[in-house]
Amino acid sequence: MNKKTKTIIWIVVAVLVVGLVGILLSDIIGSARDVSFSEFMAYLQKGEIHKLYIDAYNWTGYALDSNGNLVPVLATVAPSVYDFSSLTALLESLNNPQVIANLAIEFTDPNAGSIWSSLIPLFGVVLVALMFWLIMRNAAGGNNPTMSIGKTKAHVQNNLKVRFTDVAGAEEEKEELQEVVEFLKSPKKFSNLGARIPSGVLLVGPPGTGKTLFAKAVAGEAGVPFFSVSGSDFVEMYVGVGAKRVRELFDLAKKNQPCIIFIDEIDAVGRRRGAGLGGGHDEREQTLNQILVQMDGFEANEGIIVMAATNRADILDPALLRPGRFDRQITVNLPDVKGREQILRVHARNKPMSPDVNFKTVARITAGFSGADLANLLNEAAILAARANKKLIENVHLFDAIDKVMMGLKKKSHVITEADKRILAYHEAGHAVLAELCKYCDPVHEVTIIPRGNGAGGFTMTRPAEDSVFNSYNEMLDDICMTLGGRVAEELVIKDVTQGASGDLRMVTNTARRMITQYGMSEELGLVAYDSDQPVFVGMEYGHSESKYSQETAAKIDAEIRRLTAEAHERATKLLQENRSILDNMARLLVEKETIYTEEVAMLMKGASYQEVIAFMDENAGVREKDPFAAMIGGVNKETAETASEEKTEDVSTDKQE
């Protein structure tokens, strides 16, 4: 509700209260007279008072009027005697038993304030009425701050100035979204050729990685209106409101196509249905259903693209991800060292930076920062510079700002210090080297020490990256060996272990347990499926396994799991010891570059030094930007390589400027 309505409501309340108080006051003491105490006693003596109200401060006498009604005649005598117990004595002193017998005396609680206490229920009524009124207004959606476009609670922005150049790094994502931009610019071109453009694009990534920025950039590039709404805006107390808002939003968008609808925090409404505590048909579910209905209702290529952002795609209702809905997913990750440098440059564009500021260095020591953190960092630095009365932002300001931002971040997220970086690098290198060495492991596709939001510190991706669907005994053994690699590398190099490997250990244990209890892969236990039904949750395995076999068998299973993992641990240790120089090189490279791909891993496995790989990466940096897939696929595209070498000279010149 806005300020104006609030003020009006308060005025109404004030008028009501004053009016009511006035009425009540006049009712009680309207015609009464104030008298002295001795006068009052004289009236009592004569028997003209029929009823007496007494509290600690006032005595009020009521007499009968000609019609036989009680009316206040004498009021507010404040007797010197506040003590009620002495009242009886006082009345007795009137020495008129007749009067005393006829007199009705009522004591009222002195603390309540007789008038106000009678007002309390009235207040209640007024408040309830007021609340009811407010809710009705809210439900009707008539009084929100974004009245400009009616009742949807959405914000509409036309002519957004944001462009792809404002989003640094993330070249792959830009490329994918470029398609959407072109479609929005000229939908006809696509529909004439019968191309089906995704109606929904889901941006997935940790907070502050530029999801909102990306959505805006798409609208800006395409020059179309941008309707944005947050998932949490849909969630209201009253059933039906959210669904209604969705309908209104889509109706509005249809009148303004081509356009973009952006639903931020879609997880607020899009969580898997039936999983909530609210049970069956709650408000959230209705809202979600309405979103689905609306998205299905699009004519093909209607000119509306629905974009949504979430930091957890795994909790979304699968229905949202079906074809025709959010069938395009774009993952936006925390930037690595290169991305961070680019983001810093973008945000430094309109800030006076001292020429000796080196963005490379700043990028290096801000591992784990999101784009938003980096923007915040430059802003803090600007504030510090201004406070120091400087005309330019200098290195000192940046470094102080890093401290400041890090302190804020340490509490809520994972900022990676240089020491952490080394441990993470060895951990991930351990996985990667073993994946390459073990015959049955898939080849390594990407290794990174930048957190990927799944709770893991780093990430080693093998291709195919699907969830472990291992078939044979040897494949499973190799998987266990590779998964233990992180922990083993820590043991070998850091001479200590971190809790970072707990996820790995859980995976290893689960695989080993399945081998033994489901696939009959242990001679000791034989060809018996101890756990025949697939557990629904990992954690339940232990629960329902108890009932199926004896304590003795359970102990045997545990012993077998321990044996399998111990053997794998031994093998992993041996392999990493034998290939210690590769491990060291890879870890150093990871500290330096944070993310490496197939090609670099292959070079290292062939014995290249880390300097050689760095030289190779720097040489191909331009190509990577142009064709990020080249590195993953494992071959630099010739054509792009040429244009890249031109770019490289540009790179060098900018580096010199720093």
Binding residues (CB under 6 A) for ligand ADP: these are 167-170, 205, 207-213, 309, 343, 346, 371-372, 375
Cα separation of the two ends of the chain: 51
Kindly state the smallest distance separating residue 209's Cβ from ligand ADP, in Å.
Answer: 4
Kindly state the smallest distance separating residue 291's Cβ from ligand ADP, in Å.
Answer: 19
Quick one: which segment of 232-240, 366-374, 437-445, 486-494 binds Zn ion (CB under 5 A)? 486-494
Number of separate helices (H) and strands (E) present in the chain: 27, 14
Residue 170 or 180: the one with the smaller Cβ distance to ligand ADP is 170
Q: Tell whether residue 457 is a contact of Zn ion (CB under 5 A).
A: no
**Binds 346: which of Zn ion, ligand ADP, Mg ion, none (CB < 5-8 Å by kind):** ligand ADP
Residue whose C-alpha is closest to residue 333's, from 461, 489, 441: 461
**Binds 170: which of ligand ADP, Mg ion, Zn ion, none (CB < 5-8 Å by kind):** ligand ADP
Quick one: which segment of 58-66, 118-126, 169-177, 503-511 binds Zn ion (CB under 5 A)? 503-511
**Binds 622: which of Mg ion, ligand ADP, Zn ion, none (CB < 5-8 Å by kind):** none
Q: Tell whether residue 256 is a contact of Mg ion (CB under 5 A).
A: no
Kindly state the smallest distance separating residue 512's Cβ from Zn ion, in Å.
Answer: 16
Residue 205 or 270: the one with the smaller Cβ distance to ligand ADP is 205
**Binds 258: which of Zn ion, Mg ion, ligand ADP, none (CB < 5-8 Å by kind):** none
Rg of the chain, C-alpha, whole Å: 38
| Residue 566 token pair | 């111990």
β-pairing, 328-331 vs 304-310, is: unpaired
Q: Tell whether residue 504 is a contact of Zn ion (CB under 5 A).
A: yes
**Binds 504: which of Zn ion, Mg ion, ligand ADP, none (CB < 5-8 Å by kind):** Zn ion
Q: Can you tell me which residue has the tokens 């900022």?
A: 415
Interface with Mg ion in residues 208-227 (CB under 5 A)? 212
**Binds 242: which of ligand ADP, Zn ion, Mg ion, none (CB < 5-8 Å by kind):** none
Which residues neighbour 501 within 8 Å (Cβ) at sequence distance 6 or greater?
Answer: 427, 486, 487, 490
Residue nearest to Zn ion (CB): 486
Q: Tell whether residue 230 is a contact of Mg ion (CB under 5 A).
A: no
| Residue 315 token pair | 């909790």
Residue 344 or 561: the one with the smaller Cβ distance to ligand ADP is 344
Integer Cα distance of 107 and 59 in angstroms? 10
Q: Can you tell me which residue has the tokens 């044979």?
A: 472
Quick one: which segment of 349-357, 368-376, 504-512, 551-559 binds Zn ion (CB under 5 A)? 504-512
Quick one: CA dihedral 469, 474, 476, 478, positive or negative?
Answer: negative
Catalytic residue of the set 394, 428, 491, 594: 428
Residue 44 or 484: the one with the smaller Cβ distance to Zn ion is 484
Q: Is 428 noted as a catalytic residue in this protein?
A: yes
Which contiguous run of DSSP H or E holds residue 567? Answer: helix 551-578
Residue nearest to Mg ion (CB): 212
Kindly state the smallest distance separating residue 649's Cβ from Zn ion, in Å.
Answer: 40
Q: Are 561 and 516 in contact (CB under 8 A)?
A: yes
Quick one: which segment of 150-158, 174-182, 205-213, 435-443 binds Mg ion (CB under 5 A)? 205-213
Q: Tell whether residue 560 is a contact of Zn ion (CB under 5 A).
A: no
Integer Cα distance of 22 and 268 in angstroms? 49
Q: Are 343 and 209 in contact (CB under 8 A)?
A: no
Which residues neighbour 481 within 8 Å (Cβ) at sequence distance 6 or greater?
Answer: 434, 438, 568, 571, 572, 575
| DSSP state string for 353-409 | B-TT--HHHHHHTTTT--HHHHHHHHHHHHHHHHHTT-SSB-HHHHHHHHHHHHHHH
# residues contacting Zn ion (CB under 5 A): 2
Q: Which of 448, 486, 582, 624 binds Zn ion (CB under 5 A)?
A: 486
Residue 146 or 311: the one with the smaller Cβ distance to Mg ion is 311
Residue 91 or 263: the one with the smaller Cβ distance to ligand ADP is 263
| Residue 275 token pair | 């999983």
# residues contacting Mg ion (CB under 5 A): 1
543-581 CB burial, b ≥16 within 10 A, e <16:
eebeeebeeeebebbeebbeebbeebbebbbebbeebee
Residue 266 or 476: the one with the smaller Cβ distance to Zn ion is 476
Kindly state the smallest distance separating residue 481's Cβ from Zn ion, in Å.
Answer: 13
| DSSP state string for 15-34 | HHHHHHHHHHHHHHHSS-EE
Which contiguous run of DSSP H or E holds residue 12? Answer: helix 3-29
Residue 169 or 430: the one with the smaller Cβ distance to ligand ADP is 169
Quick one: which segment of 89-97, 135-143, 204-212, 321-329 binds Mg ion (CB under 5 A)? 204-212
**Residues contributing to the site for Mg ion (CB under 5 A):** 212
**Residues contributing to the site for Zn ion (CB under 5 A):** 486, 504
Residues labelled catalytic = 428
